[in-house]
Amino acid sequence: MKRIAIQGIKGSFHDIAAHLYFENEELDMVYCDTFSELFQTMREESNTLGLMAIENTIAGSLLGNYELLRSSGTDIVGEHKLHIQHSIMCLPEDDWDTLTEANSHPVALMQCHNFLSHHPQLKIVETFDTAGSARNIKEKNLKGHAAICHSMAAEIYGLKVLEDHIEDNKHNFTRFLVLSNPLFADDLRDRNRANKSSLVFTLPHTEGSLSSVLSIFTFYKINLTKIQSLPIIGSEWNYLFYVDVTYQDPIRFHQSIEAVRPLTREMKVLGEYTAAK
Amino acid sequence: MKRIAIQGIKGSFHDIAAHLYFENEELDMVYCDTFSELFQTMREESNTLGLMAIENTIAGSLLGNYELLRSSGTDIVGEHKLHIQHSIMCLPEDDWDTLTEANSHPVALMQCHNFLSHHPQLKIVETFDTAGSARNIKEKNLKGHAAICHSMAAEIYGLKVLEDHIEDNKHNFTRFLVLSNPLFADDLRDRNRANKSSLVFTLPHTEGSLSSVLSIFTFYKINLTKIQSLPIIGSEWNYLFYVDVTYQDPIRFHQSIEAVRPLTREMKVLGEYTAAK
């Protein structure tokens, strides 16, 4: 049985992603209030894994989670891509004509903005969690309240789904990373099937420093699938780069890292894993 | 007098940024409900300028605004960086012991998460605008409600500030772009002082296509200050790149664009402007 820490509760998107990634395995879930608590749990329990959202096709990168990951010392051992779909649900005795309020996490509310604008009778009240809104409505028997979250939360908390697929954008995917204490990372990843890696490094603000690094990757047949620069707060002429690469030959990948390392500062390989479909 | 369209109302961060960028000029503001409406206004009135947030040091890039900008046909003629600070305010007769609810835009509420967690008596209710919450409290005489927004909104709407600087992160900056119809862009920018440009292009997913482009920029002494890749939805093996560059010599910049253009697809120069301090 694997022990997995996530931010969120039963029925949250993190919970759903964890169960899809580890399908057919029994999981012992640790439900954390915050991402910081997730990493705190992983520090205290070396054999507990983590699963954390890192980017979304609409909202972009979760910069705060990148920063937590970089400073955590954990290793990425896998990734999962989840199609984000929202449903609106309420107590079984409620219906459209009795609802007065919609509850969800602010990001989910924004993702259903068009849908909500067609239901102006619903007061929009933010909560700290998507599935948490469903649980809260059930536990406190909140008549007139609707929750917006994944339809699976309706099953878990005994609510009635009024409408599925209420998200504005149907191409909404979130990418999650599976994290492990480095001690156990090699047992969890299939070294022979690793074909993707996430890197973070800083570069001096000298002309062409990034193009040199990328040229070397090209010479070693390493492909970029994502690149994002971030200014380092308080150090304006230096930049942090988050890069995802894919490759066919892990040996060539390791060689390329050693080849670019002298041109970078603080190069960290955040993990090697198998790319999600 | 300049006519400027923004998303938001009087006292919003966009309004404040517009008045700081065009300091000492009289402005005729067009307050729009959405960013789409801003671009619609600019299409209908060719001499109306726009000012729009594009990225934030905490939240990252506003991907939706990048997409609107790319398809709008408008030109960037300037940029402004604003320090985002929040205050909590209420009706003059209210005080801490009479407040029951905090209203603001979901992003502002998230940015004051620590502060709000120390005031659990305040129910957090999201609204569509920061300054709009202040206006609403004044207009509807909402006793017990507090608004979270820039302190200037308290002056504008006659509210009492209870506490300033309630944002969790003090290094919160938003970068705004000043936009114009291309017909008038040259009158608005100081060609001789232009030292920054924003580009967007796609690249075929061939090995090293990005490193070739960046190498050419290096040969022409063009510096990257930002790079961000985005997968193109529905076209998985192609990527969209948003790049900001700075340069000393505008002629070399124009030459570099012509040199990289054949290696890219759909290269668009979104504007040339003077970098903000």
Residue A236 confidence (pLDDT) above 80 = no
Nearest Cα to Cα of residue B75 among B274, B272, B275: B272
- Bridge-partner residues for A57, per DSSP? none
Q: How far apart are CA B161 and CA B91, in angstroms?
A: 9
Give the tens place of pLDDT for each residue, A26-61. Answer: 999 999 988 999 999 999 999 999 999 998 877 778
Least CB-CB distance to A207: which of B109, B205, B223? B223
Contact list in A for residue B208 (CB cut-off 8 A) is: 214-215, 217-218
For chain B, domain boundaries? 2-84+172-188, 87-163, 192-272
CATH topology of domain A2-83+172-188: D-Maltodextrin-Binding Protein; domain 2 (3.40.190)
Minimal Cα–Cα distance from B213 to chain A, Å?
8
Contact list in A for residue B66 (CB cut-off 8 A) is: none
Give the tens place of pLDDT for each residue, B180-228. Answer: 999 988 888 877 789 999 999 998 766 788 999 999 999 999 998 889 8
Q: Are A158 and A138 in contact (CB under 8 A)?
A: yes
Best mutation target among B140, B171, B211, B246 (most A Cβ atoms within 10 Å) is B211
Least CB-CB distance to A57: which of B107, B212, B233? B233
Residue A239 confidence (pLDDT) above 90 = no
Nearest Cα to Cα of residue A150 among A136, A167, A128, A127: A167
Of the two residues A150 and A234, the one the predictor is more confident about is A150
Q: How far apart are CA A102 and CA A112, in angstroms?
A: 11
Cross-chain Cβ contact B211/A208 below 8 Å: no
Q: How many residues does chain A have?
A: 277
Q: How far apart are CA B147 and CA B133, in angstroms?
A: 5
Q: What is the CA radius of gyration of chain A?
A: 21
Long-range contacts, stretch B105-108, CB < 8 angstroms, 24+ apart: B105/B129, B105/B130, B105/B133, B106/A106, B106/A107, B106/A109, B106/A110, B106/A126, B107/A106, B107/B59, B108/B148, B108/B149
Query: Which residues does B contribute to its contact with A (CB < 8 Å)?
Result: 57-61, 63-64, 106-107, 109-110, 123-126, 171, 205, 207-208, 210-212, 214-215, 217-218, 221, 223-231, 233-234
Provide the percentage of residues in chain A whose pLDDT is more than 90.
71
Cross-chain Cβ contact A229/B224 below 8 Å: yes
Q: Are B125 and B101 in contact (CB under 8 A)?
A: yes
pLDDT score recorded for residue A192: 74
Q: Which amino acid is at A2?
A: K
Cross-chain Cβ contact B215/A210 below 8 Å: no
Least CB-CB distance to B106: which of A61, A64, A106? A106
Task: Choose the catalytic residue: A115, A176, A241, A253.
Answer: A176
ipTM entry? 0.72
Task: Choose the catalytic residue: A48, A174, A202, A264.
Answer: A174
Run of H or E including B196: strand B196-203
Residue B101 confidence (pLDDT) above 80 = yes
Contact list in B for residue A61 (CB cut-off 8 A) is: 60
H-type alpha helices, chain A: 13-21, 35-44, 63-72, 106-111, 113-117, 130-139, 152-157, 182-188, 209-219, 250-260
pLDDT score recorded for residue B237: 57
Minimal Cα–Cα distance from B155 to chain A, Å?
27
Give the tens place of pLDDT for each residue, B234-267. Answer: 665 567 899 999 999 999 999 999 999 999 988 9
Contact list in B for residue A123 (CB cut-off 8 A) is: 125
Residue B50 confidence (pLDDT) above 90 = yes
Cross-chain Cβ contact B57/A233 below 8 Å: yes
Nearest Cα to Cα of residue A90 among A130, A132, A148, A129: A148
Contact list in B for residue A211 (CB cut-off 8 A) is: 211, 214-215, 217-218
Domain B192-272 has CATH 3.30.70.260: yes
Least CB-CB distance to B227: which of A59, A227, A233? A227
State the catalytic residues of B. 174, 176
Give mean pLDDT, residues A16-22: 96
Annotation says A174 is catalytic: yes
Minimal Cα–Cα distance from A155 to chain B, Å?
27
Report the residue of chain B nearest A241, measured CA to CA. B227
Q: How many CB pairs under 8 A join A and B?
A: 91
pLDDT score recorded for residue A234: 59
Give mean pLDDT, residues B92-110: 92
Minimal Cα–Cα distance from A32 to chain B, Å?
16
Give mean pLDDT, residues A192-202: 92
Question: Within its chain, how far is the Cα of B213 from the centroid?
Answer: 27
Residue A245 confidence (pLDDT) above 90 = yes
Q: A191-271 belongs to which homologous superfamily?
A: ACT domain (3.30.70.260)
CATH topology of domain B87-163: D-Maltodextrin-Binding Protein; domain 2 (3.40.190)
Annotation says A176 is catalytic: yes
pLDDT score recorded for residue B64: 82
- Output DSSP code: residue B134: H
pLDDT score recorded for residue B171: 83
- Output DSSP code: residue B42: H
pLDDT score recorded for residue B57: 79
Minimal Cα–Cα distance from B15 to chain A, Å?
22
Contact list in B for residue A63 (CB cut-off 8 A) is: 58-60
Helix and strand counts by DSSP (H, E) for chain A: 10, 15
Residue A128 confidence (pLDDT) above 80 = no
User: Cβ neighbours of residue A70 under 8 Å, at least 6 residues apart?
Assistant: A200, A268, A270
Give the tens place of pLDDT for each residue, B264-277. Answer: 988 999 999 999 98
Contact list in A for residue B204 (CB cut-off 8 A) is: none
pLDDT score recorded for residue A238: 67
Provide the percentage of residues in chain A whose pLDDT is more than 70.
96
Contact list in A for residue B107 (CB cut-off 8 A) is: 106
Q: How confident is the model at residue A268 (pLDDT cuts 50, 70, 90)?
A: very high
Least CB-CB distance to A211: which of B109, B214, B233? B214
pLDDT score recorded for residue B80: 96
Give mean pLDDT, residues A184-189: 86
Q: How confident is the model at residue A138 (pLDDT cuts 50, 70, 90)?
A: very high
Q: How far apart are CA B115 and CA A154, in angstroms?
A: 32
Secondary structure, 3-state, A195-257: CEEEEEEEECCCCCHHHHHHHHHHHCCCEEEEEEEEEECCEEEEEEEEEEEECCCHHHHHHHH
pLDDT score recorded for residue A187: 85
For B2-84+172-188, CATH number out of 3.30.70.1400, 3.40.630.10, 3.40.190.10, 1.10.260.40 equals: 3.40.190.10
Report the residue of chain B nearest A125, measured CA to CA. B125
Of the two residues B128 and B155, the one the predictor is more confident about is B155
What is Dmax (Cα atoms) for chain B? Answer: 66
Q: Are A100 and A123 in contact (CB under 8 A)?
A: yes
**A87-163: same fold as A2-83+172-188?**
yes
